[in-house]
Every structure is written in structure tokens, then in C-alpha cells.
Structure 1
């Protein structure tokens, strides 16, 4: 990913972010609460699964120790309490690297007041619950996590065979896969589960309807057709959804205060763009983002300029992987679509007629040309390009492939972001830029000449990765298309590196 800035809350050793390890003498060992209240606190710590944590990550003492060695029990409980408090307040995955989209601020979430409340309060378990619910969307995500665990408790998802004929079409018959598909969806679809049990091999209408509901919920095209991508998603274990929710809950902890200036946010898994003024959404649209093998990088940049009628200097990877096969099939057709071929001879760029070449002699590793596409209606960038300088050469742009925006799954690009409504984005970008209105924009487009304008007020742009979005109290999930939730989960399981070092030292 681009710009791998660590998302840690503070540098290792910072008192603001450092939890107390079990090897230390914790200041909370002087709990003012009675043992009954502390037993309730210990029970709350064992229930951190509701918060997306694993109780095994923390040194929670057995309740029996309270009777045999009360001082040791209190001391150990204090260390466990402080470790859980730190993770709930600041994020368990606060040491994840390469996530410039996650910005945390330890100073804005000080530990000291909560440590004091836990040490002196009559109900430390209630204090811990208040900390757990501090992120604005924590309650909805915890509810969704509980629901996902309830689905998983009904039994493991049966694996649907992937070696059958291609796409499973509504009305078709498949004795090997349809009965398993029915059992799989019945585990999480109450309407299907309430129907009379059947092992029918027919992909009948009730099952088609259940598949459509599942596809709509997962962000796929709800057509009832089960192809390779839908089948792979159906075969993911229930634990995948559980871990995604655990990650999304933790990602919201310890964050910087909400921004107030005008800004653009693009959520890559949901393939949606929003223009925000404070918390108010002023523009929203579908976007096309990078496919998994050409992921759009996470970054924070600024939109600074707009280009009309852009030409496209085709990146080397696109030229070799995407365009070379098309030139082999129809060099004249590619030329008609505005693609020009160049090579450097004697230090000078020279255009080459693609219809004169033996295309069968070129391979991905032997292609000495570079390609440019002229501006025009067929240009891959469309008629408008939004420039936001960065080291990855990522930008937003129009596209002639308008049909893609009707699809729920829109991870099709080579990394750049295609806009569903570029003219509305243009209006927003040029707001306040003297002399520019729709009439002048139209003249610039109609000229067919490549031209640009610097916008008066550059706009912050954040390319974000959040697979769980909360709207009106409901959680909407999308696939972990780039595997970043899985990476974050591994960081959560590893925990605070300083605690690991302290634990190893204490065991020697």
C-alpha cells in the first residue's frame, strides 16, 4: 500500500499509550471497591468477547484466588483491568502499520481519568462498560457481532462443492450443490429456515429468493445467479464475518476528533464516495475501485486541479497485461479507438503504426513500446480527470463504461477511481474558482482540447477501508476485498508489542 504510515497511538514508551503489564506493580492494586464489585468486574473482563476481544489475551485471575490470596488476586485483576481498559479506549490494533486511513490520538483519550474511576468507583464493571461504548457506533457493531456469533452457533457452514458446472442458474438442477446451498443459507436466513425441509436438487424460487437476499446483503448483484465469486463468498466460514466485525469495532477506538472542513471520503470495500461538510453529506455516488490484484492504495491527499479532455498515458503494467492482447486481436481497431504506439529511437519518441507490426512476436516480458490514448469519448479516463498529487499516480476520473455503476460489486479498475457522477463532482471542485461555471466547463469540453484548471480551494481526499458501515443504527457489511481486515485481525491477536516483551521478561 502507498504511504505506509504506522497508525500507532504514540511512540513505544509513551506514557500516554502504555498499558501496565502484569509484571509491574499496578497502581490499581488499591481498589476501593468491595470484593463483590471486583468479582463483577472480573466477570465483565471475561465477557470482553462482546467487545471483539479474546479473554485469553488478558491475565484475568480465577475468582478462587480472591479467597486464598486476596492481595495477589487484586493485583492481578488490576493488571488485567488496565490492559483491557487500554485496548478498549485506544484500540487493540493500534500498532497496525500501513493504514493512513486510521488516525488515532492518545492525547484525546487519556487513560488517567478512567484509571481513577476504576480504582475508586463503587461499580468498576459499569465503568468498563461505559468505556466499551465510547465509540459512536460501538453499540450497533456489538449487536451485529452478537448476531453473527448466534448464526455461527447454529453449526458450521457446509462447504458447497466448487468443481461442478459453471454458474448455477435459477431453475437448474444440481444434486451435488443445491441441497448443500439450501442448508447453508438456512443457517442465516430465517425465512428459508421456516420453510419445510427438503433435499430437492432443483434451484427453486424460494431458494432463489434467499440467494438474492444474501447477495443484496453482501453487496453482490442480486440476480440469483451463483457464479465463482458468489460461491467463494458463500464458502467463507462464519468466523470470517465475526472477525470482520471484531476488526471494525476496534478500528473505531481512540480516533482523532471528527473533521469539520469540506472533504471527500472514498470507502473502498463499499465502493462509495461522499463529499462532506462537517458531518453533513452534500454529495454521494458509486465509484469503481481497483480490483484485488491492483488494489487502490490507502492514502490521504488533496484534490488540486481538474483536467478536461485528458489523454491517457497507459502505465506499463496496463499496456502489457491489458492492451497487448487487444492489439494482437485487432491493431486497426485499437488505432481507431485513439490508441497510439510509440518507441524511443536515438533518444527521440517516434510513433509506430500498429498495423505494420507482427504482434505474435511480442510477449509481456518483450514489449518495447509505450502507449497513449488520445482524448475523446472513447478515452478510458472519459472527459474529466481530477488530479490529487501522490506517489502512486492515483486520480479520479470520468469513464465511458457507465454500465459498471449499476453493479453492486465495482472493484474493476487498475487502481484509479472512476466516478459515477463526474459533473456533480466538478461543480463541487470548482466552487469558488473565479470565472468557472457550467457554461465555461461545457465550452472546455466541447473544444476537445486538453486543458486544465487549478481549483481555488483544494479538497482533502481520504481513501479509506471500512468493510462495516453503520447507517441509521444498522450495519452494512462488504467483502474484505484487499485482505486488510485479515491483516488487522492478526495485529489484534498479537497485541501490544511492549506487553509481549514484558511478559517474556517476567517469565524468565
Structure 2
């Protein structure tokens, strides 16, 4: 019987053909999706953050999708700025990423390019936001907790944000960072124009002198921006003011005389200053968190402690920091000041008690008579009943304490931010050290030149009569703890290049050699000076 096509059977045939056509179209799309997912999973193997990010979003792309052009462009543009920020640019390699995007013709290609972009994004965003180096691996005395962001959350935030705005907001937005970045660009331009000219070879130059070396001094200060162009060949008042300004910005006594210390700083070349600035930018990234509406800032190399309120300095004092000896260098970290102790007892650190005082006690039991010998129960021990010679540094069973007094090693007040390093700020009876330019003499704690005024400034927020409160406790003669009603963050920093309130960059010597070690590590990672200084 011939095949009869009824209206109903014809309709059924059309439906069947349509279904087949749809299946035929769906299979390649599904295959592409599967291939992309497999490529992403394979390429992200070993990187748990990237793998987790894509797995939790069903492997949807953020870099290689049809709508992701703006995000791709924002990432590539940001990677191109790595050198500007003093980062190891070879870590990110935007050219390789561009090539991967351009060559991504298949789903698997796109998957691999997607993961490559995600990895570069994470590396770059981490480095520019919180530093390319790990400080504790470079120097064990940099015990700062670097505020690394969670990489999965970083990717999720980028996926939901304006790409350009997100990338622009990654570097620290502080006045310090922006001023350092401007100084970096200025120094690179200086190197491109040949530097600051010949060094000054004189041993000392002072007002009234003239000659070739005075001209060299004048020309170098002109090139550095400390004075306007002048044809004078004598050490006149204008040159003296320029020398004084240079001294102020380099932590030297501003006497206007170019002595050996001043000339040594003047003769430092822009390449070294540029490396200091790049290291300072890295240090600023390590501290890329809010410092606190009110906070205390100690710059170890500047020998200065400041109270900062809402971004403005409200108190400043000179300090003495740890000497450049093992176990005595002041570490770098942040903590929170909780209280002060007026008329403090000095509980001698065990390292000092055993290394410095025990040898003296072995020779003479009555040595260091200003200290009490205390047993494990807190009882004062008669020196005559102890044979100190039988003890070693590890077996010495006593502690040493100095009662409150004018001559106490901690002075009359100490400021406590409890930490594992036994570091705090305190008064000192050794006032003569504050007159020196270089003030690294302590066992590690920070001694304040104006401890009473520092206390007044802290207490002013909790009493209308801070001086009266302080001196009432002081005059009692008894050890007294005074809690701060508003604990204050304390940041012990180490900056050999830093911006002043006016935005100019000041420089200080690398007293512990930490910046040199950081710069060596950054160079090893691929950080370079500007092209003219390479």
C-alpha cells in the first residue's frame, strides 16, 4: 500500500525533524561548555583559590566571555603599570596574556587563557595591594603581620565590581604612598637627565668660603631642588639656607655648615635614593590597612614618635631606639596601647639579667646594688645567701627588679602595648642621648624625650585635667596603672624614605641594614630601577 501522508503524520514528521535539528545544535554547544570547564579545572589544578572560585560559580568565565572585554582590558592595563609601582613586572607578563587571549580559538584555549588571567590577576592584585615580598623571610626582626586578602574573595569582588575602578583602588591610597610614587617618577626623570652632577670632594664647607667645591655643592643642591639657579661662587646666605633645608630633610643638625656627615648625604646618588623609595613603597603596601583614627607612629630610623589624630600630627617627640646589635634592634610591628604605668618597676628582661648582670654578680654579689634579687615566689633574696658562681645563664633561678625611683631605667612612666617581644615606650634617666642626631642606644624599647607630655596628650581624651591626674599618681611614689579608656594603635615602622606633612620626601640612614636586605630580595625577584638607572 503506497505511503499515505496525512495532515497528522506530516505534523508529526515536522516535529521530529525540528527536535533532531535542535539536538544537533545543542551537542556542539554542550561540548564546548564541557571542554571549557575541563580546561579550567585542569589549568587551575594546584591553585586551590582559583579552582574554588570557578567551581563555586559553575565555571562561568570572568575574562574570556563575550561580555568580558572591559575586564580583560582593565587587567592588561593594570599589569602594564607594574614597573611604575616598583613591582617585579616579569611575574605578570601582560604580553603572554595578550597572546593567550588572541589565540583562544577553541573552548579549551579559552579555558586555559581564563585561568592564566585569573592567576596573573591574583598575583598582581596581591603584590600591589599588600606587597610583593614576605617581610619575615627577609629579616626576622620585621614581625609585621601583612594584611593579605583572601584570594577567593578577591576574585569574587573583582567579578562584581567596575573593573577599572577595582584595579585603580588596589594600591595604598595614602598620602605616603602617593608622595613616594611621585618621588620615584621624579628620581627616574633625574636619572634620565644624568643625575645630580659631580660629587662634592671637600671635607667641610662653611659660609664665607668660595671655590670649585663650593660651586659643586651649589650645583648639586640646585639639581636636588633645594635652591634656585645661581651663578654665585661663594658660600653665601642663600647657599647656607639650602644646606639647612637639606639637613632638616635628612635628620641632621641644621647648622648650615656642610660638614662630613652632611656632605656624605649630599653625595649619595639618585640611584640609591630611588631604591630607598621603592623599598618604602613596598613597606607601605605591607601596612595597607587603616592605622586608626588616633594612632601612635614610631619611625625607627627617624628617631621620632608621633600621635596622629584624623590624619594630622598632634604631638611629636624625639626617641632613642635599639642599638644595632643582635637582640637589641627594635622590631617592626603593630599593636594596641592599653595602659601606662606611672612609677614603674623595671623587671629586668632575662636576657639582660643573665648576659649582662649575672657575670657581674659572680664577681661581686653586691654589684648592681640598685636591683633586687627575687625568687620564683616574688620574695626578695638576700645576696649574701646566694652563690651566684654556681649558676649559668640557663640555670639562673632568680629575676632582677629595680623599684620605682628617679634613677629607674624606665624613668617615671612606661606605656604598654603588650606584645611577645617585650617592647614598649618609656621614660629614661639618660636624657643626654636625645641631643644626638643618631640615637640607636637602647636594648630594643623606645625611650621618649618628653614622656610626661606624651602622657598628657594620651590622657587628654579621658580627663579635663590630664596633667593633674598624671602628677597625682606620680607624686604618690607608688607604682600605678592608668588604663586608656580608648586604646590606641601603635605602629613601629622603619622608613628611610618618607613624606613629611608638606609632601616632601625626607631620607634617613639604613641603621640596621634592613632596607638593603629588602632591596636585594626585590632585585632578586625582578624589581629594577628606572631604565636610566638600570
TM-score, normalised relative to structure 1: 0.64
Q: Secondary structure at the match of 1:226?
A: coil
- Quote the offset at 1:306 in angstroms: 0.8
| CA 1:289–1:301: 2 relative to 1, 3 Å | farther
| CA 1:92–1:392: 2 relative to 1, 3 Å | closer
2:304 to 272, 277, 281: 272
- Rounded to whole Å, the distance in 1 between the matches of 2:401 and 2:97 is 71
Q: Secondary structure at the match of 1:273?
A: strand
Cα contact 1:19–1:86 (8 A) shared by 2: no
- Rounded to whole Å, the distance in 2 between the matches of 1:18 and 1:188 is 51
Cα contact 1:19–1:83 (8 A) shared by 2: no
- Quote the offset at 1:104 in angstroms: 0.4
1:483 to 502, 513, 521: 513
Gaps of 5+ in 1: 1-11, 325-337, 352-369, 497-508
Q: Which has the higher mean CA deviation after the structures are superposed, 390-399 or 67-76? A: 67-76
| 1:260-282 CA distance string (max 9 Å, x none) | 586533232333334456x4668
- Bigger share in helix: 2
1:84 to 105, 121, 124: 124
- Quote the offset at 1:296 in angstroms: 1.8
Q: Does 1:104 align with 2:147?
A: yes
Match of 2:194 in 1: 155
Match of 1:185 in 2: 221
Match of 2:89 in 1: 55
- Quote the offset at 1:106 in angstroms: 0.6
Q: Does 1:220 align with 2:252?
A: yes
Match of 1:453 in 2: 481
| CA 1:28–1:444: 2 relative to 1, 3 Å | closer
Looking at CA atoms only, which structure, 1 or 2, has the larger radius of gyration? Answer: 2
Q: Which has the higher mean CA deviation after the structures are superposed, 147-156 or 183-192? A: 183-192
Cα contact 2:226–2:242 (8 A) shared by 1: no
1:308 to 340, 343, 355: 343
- Rounded to whole Å, the distance in 2 between the matches of 1:313 and 1:63 is 58
- RMSD over aligned Cα, in angstroms? 5.4
| 1:410-459 CA distance string (max 9 Å, x none) | 5454432222332233346667999x975564355456x46333536565
Q: Please show how residues 162-241 of structure 1 align to structure 2 within 5 Å.
A: 165=203, 167-172=204-209, 178-189=214-225, 191-192=227-228, 194-196=229-231, 203-241=235-273
Q: Does 1:30 align with 2:68?
A: no
Cα contact 1:262–1:459 (8 A) shared by 2: yes
Number of equivalent positions: 433
2:320 to 289, 296, 299: 289
- Rounded to whole Å, the distance in 1 between the matches of 2:264 and 2:322 is 16
Match of 2:31 in 1: none
- Rounded to whole Å, the distance in 2 between the matches of 1:37 and 1:443 is 63
- Rounded to whole Å, the distance in 2 between the matches of 1:190 and 1:212 is 10
Match of 1:145 in 2: 184
Cα contact 1:430–1:455 (8 A) shared by 2: no
Cα contact 2:172–2:288 (8 A) shared by 1: no
- Rounded to whole Å, the distance in 2 between the matches of 1:62 and 1:348 is 75
Q: Which has the higher mean CA deviation after the structures are superposed, 207-216 or 71-80? A: 71-80
Q: Secondary structure at the match of 2:227?
A: helix
Q: Secondary structure at the match of 1:269?
A: helix
Gaps of 5+ in 2: 1-45, 360-366, 374-380, 386-398, 527-534
- Rounded to whole Å, the distance in 2 between the matches of 1:213 and 1:51 is 28
- Rounded to whole Å, the distance in 2 between the matches of 1:286 and 1:311 is 23
Q: Does 1:421 align with 2:450?
A: yes
Cα contact 2:414–2:425 (8 A) shared by 1: yes
Cα contact 1:135–1:252 (8 A) shared by 2: no
- Rounded to whole Å, the distance in 2 between the matches of 1:282 and 1:109 is 38
| CA 1:109–1:263: 2 relative to 1, 3 Å | farther
- Quote the offset at 1:484 in angstroms: 3.1
Cα contact 1:244–1:485 (8 A) shared by 2: yes
Cα contact 1:310–1:450 (8 A) shared by 2: no
- Quote the offset at 1:226 in angstroms: 3.5
- Quote the offset at 1:58 in angstroms: 3.0
- Quote the offset at 1:45 in angstroms: 3.2
| 1:296-325 CA distance string (max 9 Å, x none) | 22243644441317679699879999xx9x
- Rounded to whole Å, the distance in 2 between the matches of 1:414 and 1:17 is 48
- Quote the offset at 1:18 in angstroms: 11
| CA 1:68–1:259: 2 relative to 1, 3 Å | closer
- Rounded to whole Å, the distance in 2 between the matches of 1:233 and 1:26 is 56
Q: Does 1:462 align with 2:491?
A: yes
Cα contact 2:322–2:446 (8 A) shared by 1: no
- Quote the offset at 1:349 in angstroms: 2.7
TM-score, normalised relative to structure 2: 0.61
| CA 1:29–1:174: 2 relative to 1, 3 Å | same
- Quote the offset at 1:91 in angstroms: 2.7
Cα contact 2:218–2:239 (8 A) shared by 1: yes
Q: Secondary structure at the match of 1:213?
A: helix
| CA 1:203–1:100: 2 relative to 1, 3 Å | same
